[in-house]
Amino acid sequence: MASRKKCLILGLTVFLWVELYAQNEEQNVTCRLLRKFNLTGYVEAANHSMVIGGLFPIHSRTIPTNDSDEEPVSAMCEGFNFRGFRWMKTMIHTIKEINGRKDILPNHTLGYQIFDTCFSVSKAMETALVFLTGQEENKPNFRNSTGKYLVGIIGSGGSSLSVAASRILGLYYMPQVGYTSSCSILSDKFQFPSFYRSIPSDKIQSEAMVNLIKHFGWVWVGAIAADDDYGKYGVKSFREKMESANLCVAFSETIPKVYSNEKMQKAVKAVKSSTAKVIVLFTTDIDLSPFVLEVVHHNITDRTWIASEAWITSALVAKPEYFPYFGGTIGFAIPRSVIPGLKEFLYDIHPSKDPKDVLTIEFWQTAFNCTWPNSTVPYNVDHRVNMTGKEDRLYAMSNQLCTGEEKLEDLKNTYLDTSQLRITNNVKQAVYLMAYALDRLSNCDLLEEYSNSTACSHIPDFEPREMLPYFKKLKITTHDGTEIELDNNGDIENGYYDILNWHLGNAGEVAFVKVGEYKFTSSKYELVLPKNSSLFWNTESSMLPDSVCTKLCAPGTRKGVRQGQPICCFDCIPCADGYVSEKQGQRECDPCGEDDWSNAEKSKCVPKLVEFLAYEEALGFTLVILSIFGAIVVFAVTIVYVIHRHTPLVKANDRELSFLIQMSLGITVLSSMLFIGKPSNWTCMARQVTLALGFCLCLSSTLGKTISLFFAYRISKSKTRLISMHPVFRKLIVLFCVVGEIGVCAAYLVLEPPRMFKNIESQNVKIIFECNEGSIEFLCAIFGFDVFLALLCFLTTFVARKLPDNYYEGKCITFGMLVFFIVWISFVPAYLSTKGKFKVAVEIFAILASSYGLLGCIFLPKCFIILLRPKRNTDETVGGRVPTVDRSIQLTSASVSSELNSTTVSTVLDE
């Protein structure tokens, strides 16, 4: 940290010197740097009109220096990075390729000046200042130590390095194209106005990770990031995407840039103690290496790692000895490509070609573990601190001298591995983006929005800011046919990631197996993971890992939020009645339809039990038997009356009315069967109307009889001669009553008829099929009329109950009416207190009881006499002529005579 602080102070000193010179230019003040930055790299500028700068992490870190009060010095680098060295060689190869083409910059050639950033912010700052000022010049004229015009920078190798360099380069609007800097903050044109890149932004990668997590059903995921801009902004975007998808981050830890045992152990502890089995690693391979050693040291297995593009194909991590811990890693990688001629160019390297090429000599020494003769280049010594907290030199100085006869074909390292050219291909694309922007500038190919406000520039006489409009909506086609287009923020507008899975190859090496793709455009995305893709999971069962805070709630339960905890940690609460959850892990229970209800497990909606008084059940069958039996009894009584129709007892008191009463009672007992079975619209309309008309006919006919009895009683009381009621009048009473009832019933059926409806409110688990009676007013009217007739019958017979008679018909009708009233008065509370099919059964019972009561009270005594006491069925017994003047002889209610003379009076009971 002290070294970085000193380097930053030095960098700021240089920057202030530049500004000071600009202010004192008129006084001709000359300022020079007191000492130079310690930089290494490559330069080729002679015979070229322009130079492209390059920043690459050829080393992986700077050598720590002791904190002291001495003047700050530029740090040395260590840890040769074969991968970064290949990237740098790719830039040189691409520039040579462009210079050999005639369709791009035909009148100009490009040179290069490349520096090593050592994968450190301090070196990135130093190189950015050197590009602007040079180490010998005294003003920023964009003609650095090469003496050629600097048109732009390729680099700086990592997001943190690009952020640091771009903050300086952006002040002068120096174009910068990143090849592996995916940090989302670099899209901010206010902070980084001149930064562009050939790699997608981490916003896209974060969304891709979340979609991958959703695809596999993971909800509880850990996150570890490098302690730099790449890691912090990457995890920040990832957490935002997770929250918007209702997924949870179990923990979020950082890997320190400068080794700290305390911070490293904190990250390792989070991994070991968390129930999250899936962990996202947003870091570069260089920063990840110490953490990998810790994972191996603590023997942490049974974890699935989601890799960012910065380390998914890194040979530094993908080693066979690490496979038991990191096997099955799945992540996103930049699309792989084959670069023609690159492999041969990479092999064309040897220290003997240029004794001053210190990077090539260091490459040779590190690759073959030898020391180049007569070289001052130090051997690669690693001063990192291991997990024990003690310094450990991982590489020792070799006493073996290099012969120069070593063969590159025998090497197996990242530099010569061209099977996974991903970031390497991005380097090539970044150089081409710079070249095509220059080509557009040379042709003045401006967008329409800039054509009227910006004058055409000429190579090489232009300022860096004049080149920026040519990057807007820049669209190129690469050597493999891929189209690349930049948006207004300098980001890739469309493309795709390869989804890779780590397998163990046949030779024991780690194989990067492509299992899918993540395609994206400016408006949509598509995750492509074939079902038959062979995924390897580093679990005990080799099956898809399960990463949850709480196991998914079983069907029949829902998630209940735990206060103060993430939404992925919950309790499983049973669904309420009428609600179900058919799938695992449902947040809410779904209501069942009105015809359905939840089963006992609350996992499925099942049809509600249908309830109505069915013929098949015992109660319904019993009532049907009673109805049929009642009809048979009525029919039997009618047969008896028909057979004995000429007997005095049958002829007494209007034989036709007796037959009407019998017929009506047959109708009422049979109408009860309309109440049994599944209701329908027609049965709902028929049953009440039929019942009402049946009772109306019965009671009106009975009323005809009772009026006759009433008049007979009045005659016997007054002992005066009275004209008898003609039988026609009795029948007219029946006719008027029935016609009136039919009229009301017809209006009822036309205006507001009853309808069948499903009652789902009375009982939750049942659907009660019943009749909606429509208008209660009409229903009260039709049955109220029947009650009125019954009341008239009762009153008239009650008055005439003391009429002497050998057959007490008046008393029988009185008892019949009493039974009728008792039954229906008892029916009302019983009907209102029951539900469902029992409600219908109560009504049927009331119908049958009242019908049986009338039948028994009116006709049973007569049938008893007709069948069992025929001697009493005579004119003398039933009735006869009685002299009017003889007041000692009382009139009988059954006296019947068809002959009227002056000495007798025909009773009102004549036929």
Q: Which residues pair with 41 in a beta bridge?
A: 115
Cα R_g (the chain), whole angstroms: 54
Q: Going along 665-762, which residue ranges are E strands?
A: 755-759
More confident residue, 75 or 139: 75
Is residue 250 within 8 Å of residue 306, measured between CB atoms?
no
- Mean pLDDT on 586-599: 87
Q: What is the pLDDT of residue 895?
A: 37
Query: Which tens digits make up the pLDDT trace of 115-138?
Result: 999 999 999 999 998 888 776 655
Token output for 876:
């003398």
Which DSSP symbol is given to 723?
A: P
Is residue 115 within 8 Å of residue 41, measured between CB atoms?
yes
Cβ contacts of 145 within 8 Å, gap of 6 or more: 43, 113, 130, 134, 135, 136, 137
Q: What is the pLDDT of residue 168?
A: 92
Query: Which tens digits make up the pLDDT trace of 800-827?
Result: 666 555 445 777 787 888 888 888 888 8
Torsion from C-alpha of 389, 395, 399, 404, nearest 10 degrees: -160
Q: Hey, what amino acid is at 498?
A: D
- Residue 833: how many other CB atoms lie within 10 Å: 10
- Mean pLDDT on 205-222: 93
Q: Give the model's confidence band at 562: pLDDT under 50 very low, under 70 low, under 90 confident, else very high.
A: confident
pLDDT exceeds cutoff 50 at 910: no
* Peptide bond just before 679 cis, omega within 30 deg: no
Q: Give the model's confidence band at 381: pLDDT under 50 very low, under 70 low, under 90 confident, else very high.
A: low
Q: Give the model's confidence band at 563: pLDDT under 50 very low, under 70 low, under 90 confident, else very high.
A: confident
Query: Which tens digits make up the pLDDT trace of 521-534?
Result: 888 889 998 877 78
Alpha carbons 462 and 442: distance in angstroms, whole number: 10
Alpha carbons 187 and 210: distance in angstroms, whole number: 21
- Mean pLDDT on 302-312: 93
Is residue 834 within 8 Å of residue 842, measured between CB atoms?
yes
Q: Which helix (H) or strand (E) holds 503?
A: strand 495-504
Residue 513, classified by CB atoms within 10 Å of its CB into exposed (0-12), middle (13-18) or buried (19+), is middle
Q: Which residues pair with 501 in a beta bridge?
A: 330, 513
Closest by Cα among 333, 302, 331, 312 to 213? 331
Q: Mark out the alpha helices in 546-599 (DSSP H runs).
A: none
Predicted TM-score (pTM) above 0.85: no
Is residue 666 within 8 Å of residue 634, measured between CB atoms?
yes
Query: Which of 64-73, 281-290, 551-560, 607-616 is predicted least confidently?
Result: 64-73
**What's the distance, CA 817 to chain centroid?**
69
Closest by Cα among 180, 271, 179, 286 to 227? 286
pLDDT exceeds cutoff 90 at 455: no
Alpha carbons 848 and 48: distance in angstroms, whole number: 118
Q: How many CA atoms lie within 13 A of 259 on its CB side?
A: 23
